[in-house]
Each structure stands twice: as structure tokens, then as C-alpha cells.
Amino acid sequence: MTLNDVICGFRVTEARESRELCGTLWTLRHEKTGAPLYWLDNGAENMVFSVAFNTVPWDDTGVFHILEHSVLCGSEKYPVKEPFLDLLKSSLNTFLNAMTFPDKTMYPVASRNEKDFMNLVSVYLDAVFCPMITKNPSIFLQEGTRIDFSGDEPAFNGVVYNEMKGAFGSLNTRIINELERLLYPDSPYGFVSGGDPKAITDLTYEGFLAAYKTFYHPANSVLYLDGAVSLDAVLPLIDGYLSAYGAEGVLHTIPLQTPVEGRAAVINYEIGENESPEKKTCIVRGKIAGEDKDRVKMLALGILRSYLFGSNEAPVKRAVLQTGLAEDVSFSVFDGILQPFASLVFRNTEQAHRDALVNAVKTAADGLLAAPTDTDALFAEIDKLELNVKEPEEPQGIDRAIDLMSGVVYCGDPLAHLEYDGLLAELRRLVETDYYKDLIKEFLLDDANVSEIAFVPDPAMGKKNAAEEQARLDEKLASMDENALADAKTRFDAFKAWQDTPDTDAQKATLPTLSVSDLPEAPAPFITEQKTQGQAAVSFHPAHTAGVSYVRLYFAAEDISPEALPVLSFAADLLGSLPTGSHAAASLERALKRTTGWFSPSVLTLFVPNGGAYLRLAVGFSAMSRKLPQAVPLITEILTETQFTEKDKIKEILTQTRDRLYRAICASGSRYAGRR
């Protein structure tokens, strides 16, 4: 390709070489609709396609979350009820999903098989641009909300409705949603993009369709390709869908929120009816951090988060824990929106302790400002960040699609969230200045524009929520006359008939599938070199990993009794958090950041083909290959010299672990039921 070439309706407008991404980012623009398409030509075998839309909410009905579900419930070319699930059975996909963000909706797929990739692209394009939702209102009733008349009494029901009722049972979700309401009163970010159960039931089918027609237009989209994609095959397919539209679409943008004077709220949240509310209050402080386009500031805040609050030995967190007034404290930066925000959260405390906890943070911050900058700690955090951005998880192209979309939407630069070398160099240069101290002042000492919420536990909240839900249902039913009620029941009966009718063989046959001839004759090679080191067997796997080495050590644990397994599991969690013979806990944490990327001890059950299983204590870590000579002795020290006599530190960690498990079970009880 060359600039200004027109290929299958797309004009090539830009080509940017990227050493970090090992390829060229091509920018193409669809001539008829103006839709931008980006292709990262990097030769990656794992091919990625994504079509995304700027979906900016104006209320709490969760319309874009419901649309994300609904467009994947059949289309004109593929009229099956659940093509998404059917594809999972007949595809070699490495990723197949859709995602709703606070201001965008994405439909990405990935596969290493070229025919499979084209099949997935075809199904997703048809789903997004030709969905059955415009012809079948039962899809909206299934995925969004409906009055269900199948039980003894009418009830609200719907996939997204129930999903968000579960999400609102998570205190973490409530913290984010309620803080955003205070911080963004004049912005789309003040609404719950996933949907508030109290508002989801207000969405009508007509409003649902209007949102689709307004926002799902190519002019409001971003298309992305990644890897060894055949443009000759994929561009005509995309153009065939886009060309059905004109240029009348609108690019929906996000207005900036002017920071508002700090606001305060007290909000009750649900705990068990027989649960004590003592020491279960959560105090949250937050403020807008700036704009996403200031990438250095956003990354620097992440560095400070880890340095000041990242572990029990971090200086500000240690100061809060020493008060004994809260079991945990965290500082977070919520990125991936136009105006990120920062939050400070005190967990498991009482409202009466608010002033003392805030003062503990400010006193610790004042001490840091008065002392010389701990440059070694900041360099350690930057080293950790560098390794993290150089070892993305597979499929890497999916993360790149999300990051590119953020760059395009928030600052107009598709590489803003994808290239880090220049940012890392600037972050290191700023260590020798007062930049990080100025950020500590801004976010820990300056109360301007800080909003605050006290989340107070209420054992009766579950009954109150149920009563409010019933009252909303009663009000909706009472507002219907006989004809409206009869229409609602008729729509429900039609919905049930549609849901209970299986897809026909002809409908199923429309979905593309793979045959044996489409598969390679041999699996992709996975090179293994068996070696020995002393008495240990070593499996070495040479691979291209961008200079990162991955090591995992397995220790036999078959002699551990079932009763001792939780103890072994918790002991593994303690590794790296307690002092050793040569390092205090804080200096050990710093040494790990300077030498390793991730360090992950755990207890694993390894299953083997003959039906047997092995219990192992597994200790994994990653490191830049050049740092292995420093990393290996450090890991050895942790494994052989950890001091398990620090009872106070162990109790702190155990208390925090218990609280995290409690919150995780409240938020995802079905996952724990499945595990059991």
C-alpha cells in the first residue's frame, strides 16, 4: 500500500512505523461513511478484528449494555437465537466476546486460523450492522427487561437487569458508581453505563431501537485489524456492510466535566440480615485527576499508587494500618475514560474514625514531602511498570484494540496508549525533580474538589431493596389500563413462544463452520528441551518474549493433609510479603520490583492424561532476561529464608484476605458455587 491508495472503498491516509509494536500502523478511512480503520501490520499469527462505537450514555437505563447483548442474538444472514454460543462450539477462536465501557462498546474477535477468522468477522459484522433486534422485540425482552407473567405473581426479569442487580450487590461496584455520580454531575460519566436496576425497567423497546439507529452508524465507529490479516479478503467484506450507509451519521463526543466543589453523601449498602455492622463502614474520597491525554500524569499517579499504598509496607498504607482504625486502605486511579479520577478508600472502619484516618494520610504525606525524595523506590516502580507493559497477555491484539480505541477517542492519537518508551524515559527524568511530590500534594493534601462518601452497612437493606422493587413494579402495573396490560401479556406470551422454539436445521446451517481440511495437519510446534539442574528436572521452552523470561518452580506437596491445605495456600500468599534473613519486608518489596515483573506463589493441582493428578506448590515469576542473575537469588532467598514469626504482619494480611474473599463472594457467588 501507498498513501492515497483507494482499496475496496477505503483510502489509505497514514502509515506509522512503530519499533515498540514491531510493525506499521496503517490508517484507512472509508470514503462513503468516513469510518476510520486501523491495521497494525505486525505479522502476528493471532489475527484480531474489532468494530467499536462511541456510546455515550444520557441516563441510567443501561441501553448500550443491553444493545451489546442483544445484537449478538441473531442477524439477517445468521438468524439463530444464540450465534455467540453456537460459534463457541464450532470455532478455533482465541477470543470471542463483546464489552461495554463507560463511553464505548466493542465487538472484538481473534483467531489463528484464517478461515475461522473470516467466519468470525462475517458473523460479527452482520450482528452489528444487520441485527434481528429491529424485527424481533422478544430479543429486547430477553436481554433487557420485561414484566414476567410466568410465575404466581408478575416480576421484573431480564438478562442485563439481573446481571446488574448482582453487580450492585458488590460494594466495589457501588463505590465506583456513586463516586462518579458526585464527580461528574454534568457528564455522561455520571450515569451507570451498565445500567442501574432502578432505571433499567424504564427503558422502552422504542428507546432501545432509537439508541441503536443513532449510535451504531459507521461514522461513529472505529474499526481495527491486527496481525497477518489478508486485506484482500477482509476489506471487501467490511465495505459491503459500510456502503449500505450514507455519510449522515454523527461522531458522538464526550463533553468535559468542569471540576465541581466537593460534595458529600452517606449511602447504605447491604450486608446479611444476621451480620454485625460493626467496623464495616467504608469511607471513600475522590477527585477528577485530569485528562487522559496527559499520559505522563496518569502513569505517574499509578506509580505513586503502588509506591504509597501498594502493600502493607508502603509508607502511607503503613501509617493508616498503624492507627488500628481501618483494616485496609487503597488509592486507585480509574483510567480508560476521558477524565480519569482518583479515589482513596478506607475499608472496615467506622464513620467516627473519618477525621483520624484522613489526618493519618496527610501526616504521612507531609513526612514524605519534608524528607528527600526516595528515588530508589520510584525507580523500582518505573522498572516494574516497564516490565508490565512489555509482557501483555494473549491475545495481545485484543488489548491493543482497546488501547487504540482509547487513544483515538480521548486525544486523537491511536498510539497514545500503545507506545511507552518515551513515557518511561520522561517518568524516570521526573524522579530527579519535585514532580512526584507535587502530585502527592495535589491528591493527598489538597482537599479542593474532593468528594466524599460514607458507605454504611445496613442488615435490613436487602428487604428494603426488595420492597422498593415491588413498589416500582406495582406502580408500573397500576399505570396500565386493561388494554395496555393485555398487550404486555401478549408480548410476553410471544416472547416465551420464541424462546421455547428451537432453531431450525436451516437456521443452524447458516452459521459458518470449519471442516477438517481447514485445519493444519500438525499442531503448532511447542519446543521443549529437557535438562537437569542438580537433581531437578528442567523443561526449557525457547520462545520470542520481547526480552522477558518466565520461570515456574514446582515443589511436590502430595504429603500435605487435606486439613493443612488452607495453611499451605495462605503460607504461599505470604511469600514476598514478610521479611527474610537478609531483607526487611519493605526492602524486599522494593527488590522484587527492581528485578521481577510478577511473582506468584500458589498451590496447584496438575492433571495428567491418564487421569492422575499431582499437588504442587508452584512459584512463578517473570523478569527481564538481563535481570535473571539478580532475580534468581532473590527468589531463592524468599523460598528459604522467609520469617513466618512476624505475627502482627501475618494477622494484617489474613484480615485483608478475609475481607477480599468476603467481597468477592458477595459479588460473584455463582463462581464460588461452581468451584465448590
The whole-angstrom separation of Cα 436 and Cα 433 is 8
The per-residue pLDDT for 350 is: 97
The yes-or-no verdict on residue 251 having pLDDT over 90 is no
Distance CA 393, CA 547 (A): 15
Q: For 75-89, what is each residue's pLDDT tens digit?
A: 999 999 999 888 888
- The answer to whether residues 414 and 645 touch, using CB atoms and an 8 Å cutoff, is no
Cβ proximity of 226 and 403 under 8 Å: no
pLDDT for residue 209 is more than 80: yes
Closest Cα to residue 322, out of 274, 365, 356?
Answer: 356
Grid coordinates belonging to 269: 449498602
Mean pLDDT of 382-402: 89
Quick check: 121 and 60 in contact, CB under 8 A? no
Evaluate if residue 392 carries a pLDDT over 80.
no
Rounded to whole angstroms, how far apart are CA atoms 346 and 322?
Answer: 13
3-state secondary structure 373-399: CCHHHHHHHHHHHHHHHCCCCCCHHHH
Q: Dihedral angle at the C-alpha atoms of 524, 526, 527, 530, nearest 10 degrees? A: -150
Q: Which amino acid is at 202?
A: D
CA–CA separation, 329 vs 279, rounded Å? 14
| Other Cβ atoms closer than 10 A to 478 | 7
Question: Residue 12: pLDDT band by 50, 70, 90 thresholds?
Answer: very high
For range 329-355, the mean pLDDT: 96
Least Cα distance to 646 among 584, 594, 601, 572 occurs for: 584
pLDDT over 90 at 388, yes or no: no
pLDDT for the residue 576: 95
Query: In the predicted model, is pLDDT for residue 501 greater than 80?
Result: yes
CA-CA distance, 278 to 307, in Å (whole number)?
31
Which amino acid is residue 553, in one-letter code? L
The model carries a pTM of 0.92
* Spacing of C-alpha 60 from chain mean position: 20
**630-642 tens-digit pLDDT:** 999 999 999 999 9
Cα–Cα distance for residue pair 142/342, rounded to 1 Å: 37
Q: Predicted confidence band at 257 (pLDDT cuts at 50, 70, 90)?
A: very high
CB atoms within 10 A of CB 581: 9
Q: What is the Cα–Cα distance from 649 to 570, expressed in whole angstroms? A: 13
Q: What pLDDT is attached to residue 654?
A: 94
Interval 285-298 mean pLDDT: 96
Q: Which residues have CB under 8 Å from 629's CB, separation 6+?
A: none
H or E element: which one contains 357?
Answer: helix 354-370
CA atoms within 13 A on the CB side of 137: 14
361 pLDDT above the threshold of 80: yes
Give, to the nearest 10 degrees, the angle between helix 159-167 and helix 63-70.
Answer: 130
Question: Percent of the chain having pLDDT more than 70?
Answer: 100
Q: Are 82 and 502 in contact (CB under 8 A)?
A: no
Sole residue written with cell 441510567: 60
Give the residue carrying C-alpha cell 526480552.
Answer: 547
pLDDT of residue 241: 97
Please tell me what DSSP assigns to residue 75: B
DSSP state of 654: H
Q: Residue range 205-227: average pLDDT?
A: 96
Is 606 a residue whose pLDDT tops 90?
no
Average pLDDT over residues 255-283: 93
Q: How far apart are CA 639 and CA 263, in angstroms?
A: 48
Q: How far apart are CA 615 and CA 586, in angstroms?
A: 31
Q: Give, in order, the Cα–Cα distances in Å from 300 to each of 19, 79, 289, 438, 439.
A: 23, 49, 11, 11, 8
Surface-to-core class of residue 17, CB atoms within 10 Å of its CB (0-12 exposed, 13-18 middle, 19+ buried)? exposed
- pLDDT of 618 above 90: yes
**Torsion sign (Cα): 294, 295, 301, 304:** negative
Strand locations in 124-169 (E) = 146-148, 155-157
What pLDDT shows up at residue 524?
81
Tens of pLDDT, residues 36-63:
999 999 999 999 999 999 999 999 999 9
| Ramachandran sector of residue 8 (left: φ over 0; alpha: ψ -120 to 50; beta: rest) | left
